[in-house]
Amino acid sequence: MFNFDFHNPTQILFGKGRIADLAKVVPANARVLILSGGGSIKHNGVLDEVHAALAGRSFQEFSGIEPNPSYENLMQAVELVRREKLDFLLAVGGGSVIDGAKFIAAAVNFEGDPWAILEKRGANITSALPFGAILTLPATGSEMNNGSVVTRKSLKAKMAFSSRHCFPQFSILDPTKTFTLPTRQIGNGVVDAYAHVMEQYMTYPADAPIQDRFAEGILLTLIEEGPKALATPDDYAVRANIMWCATLALNGLIGAGVPQDWATHMVGHELTALYNLDHAQTLAIVLPSMLRIRKEGKRAKLLQYAARVWNLTTGDEDARIDAAIEKTQAFFEQMGVKTRLGDYGVTADNIETVLGQLESHKMTMLGERRDVTLAVSRQVLELSL
Ligand code: NZQ
Ligand code: ZN
């Protein structure tokens, strides 16, 4: 196992009815800005519960944070915070709203052009406003991590940053608030969480059996519970288990002390920025091909995955690996997320453009061994057509 630091200061308030506890975790004198997306929280009663819980407190609102939040839009919120001297952010929504809050929090007191935060991946953040979150879409893990992804539309650039200053102070996870998710977002969430586990687990053995077994436990639970969320969408226990899986998949626990990949995510971000695919759609397309093309480098873990997650223990090694990757892809399809570029209208003609963007964003040595060059990314994309 590698040396590691593990620090996660986010307090989780989990369960039905927990929005009522908001006033206990938002500082009493805070001048709050409530951040939200395109309106789901207005339609499903979440915003009413937030208003009730913050009765008597000082708050303003900024809505309209879009999926794959844009720098251009978030800067409007930065201006509002500066103008109104607000000092606490409350993100209410999915990963996009929470990621948006992290950027706003870091940008408000940033000296110079805040786009530099993305250019330096967050290394230049020296402080951030405090913020909390109310999660309505289990997927990204943003509710309990310090990462964020922001798109600059004018550049078609989707970039990630992280900073120790950007953990939420608290996150409220009420599984009943996920009942109104459209089918597409249920599938997206399960696929994203699954991919997060794979990016930290599917590398090479690192004498880390507890991280491996945590990871395999999350994968097995997602495989069990994901289809139930589609079949019986009003089942509280199913939604609760998926929600906790998604949080644990990317809060630092399973990734501590082990090699990490993230090549699938980096290629996926380019696909979203260029062609507007949902984040999880890009992962469902890229991950199976990434595993097929990089089979040799990942052989030992692929065999472990085949045995422990898909119960494939007999027969030829290559056949077991191939079957495990097939089952992974079939699971994404079962969750309603299509796994081919062609399913989304992206063709062979587009591959050069994707590679050009990867190059301009310095994504030319990806993966746990830094051996995912542009040539490898090309093979992966061609196999995904
Ligand atoms: O905007 P509203 O009206 O709220 O609707 C949203 C949005 O249209 C809707 N939704 C959310 N909760 C709902 C709901 N609709 C009905 N009922 C509810 N309870 O769902 C749509 C998608 O929301 P979004 O927040 O965009 O989805 P997600 O949570 O998947 O977040 C995706 C973003 O997170 C980034 C992605 O790149 C993408 O930009 N990621 C962030 C990560 C992190 N911070 O650690 C890691 C991930 O790998 C990922 O890159
Ligand atoms: Zn993701």
Over the stretch 75-103, which tens digit does the pLDDT of each residue have? 999 999 999 999 999 999 999 999 999 99
**What was the pLDDT predicted at 313?**
97
Q: Three-class SS of residue 6?
A: coil
Q: Is 168 in the pocket of ligand 1 (CB under 6 A)?
A: no
Does residue 187 contact residue 335 with C-beta atoms inside 8 Å? Answer: yes
Pairing of strands 131-135, 58-62: unpaired
316 CA from centroid of ligand 2 (Å): 32
**What was the pLDDT predicted at 324?**
98
User: For the segment 346-367, what is each residue's pLDDT rounded down to a tens digit?
Assistant: 999 999 999 999 999 999 999 9
Looking at residues 256-273, what average pLDDT do you find?
98
User: For the segment 276-290, what is each residue's pLDDT rounded down to a tens digit?
Assistant: 999 999 999 999 999
17 CA from centroid of ligand 1 (Å): 22
**What was the pLDDT predicted at 144?**
98
105 CA from centroid of ligand 2 (Å): 21
The DSSP result for 320-358, as a single string, is HHHHHHHHHHHHHHHTT----GGGGT--GGGHHHHHHHH
Q: Three-class SS of residue 90?
A: strand
Q: Is 146 in the pocket of ligand 1 (CB under 6 A)?
A: no
Q: Is 185 in the pocket of ligand 1 (CB under 6 A)?
A: yes
Q: Is the pTM of this model over 0.95?
A: yes
- Residues 51 and 342: their CA atoms lie apart, in Å, by 44
Mean pLDDT, the chain, rounded, equals 98
In the chain, pLDDT over 70 holds for what percent of residues? 100
2 CA from centroid of ligand 2 (Å): 24
> Looking up tokens 């909390």, which residue turns up?
132
**What was the pLDDT predicted at 178?**
98
**What was the pLDDT predicted at 87?**
98
Looking at residue 198, its amino acid is: M
Residue 4: pLDDT band with limits 50, 70, 90: very high
Q: Three-class SS of residue 202?
A: coil
- Residues around the ion ligand 2 (C-beta < 5 A): 192
What domains are defined for the chain? Answer: 11-177 (3.40.50.1970), 182-383 (1.20.1090.10)
**What was the pLDDT predicted at 369?**
98
**What was the pLDDT predicted at 322?**
98
**Residue 171: both structure tokens together:** 């996150």
Pairing of strands 147-152, 157-162: antiparallel
139 CA from centroid of ligand 2 (Å): 7
Does residue 138 contact residue 176 with C-beta atoms inside 8 Å? Answer: no
Looking at residues 217-245, what average pLDDT do you find?
98
> Looking up tokens 């990089």, which residue turns up?
294
**Residue 203: both structure tokens together:** 């590398």
Exposure letters 238-260 (e unless 16+ CB within 10 A, then b)? bbbbbbbbbbbbbbbbbbbbbbe
Q: Three-class SS of residue 150?
A: strand
189 CA closest ligand 1 atom index = 30
Pairing of strands 31-35, 58-62: parallel
39 CA closest ligand 1 atom index = 3
Does residue 82 contact residue 105 with C-beta atoms inside 8 Å? Answer: no
**What was the pLDDT predicted at 102?**
98
Q: Is 67 in the pocket of ligand 1 (CB under 6 A)?
A: yes
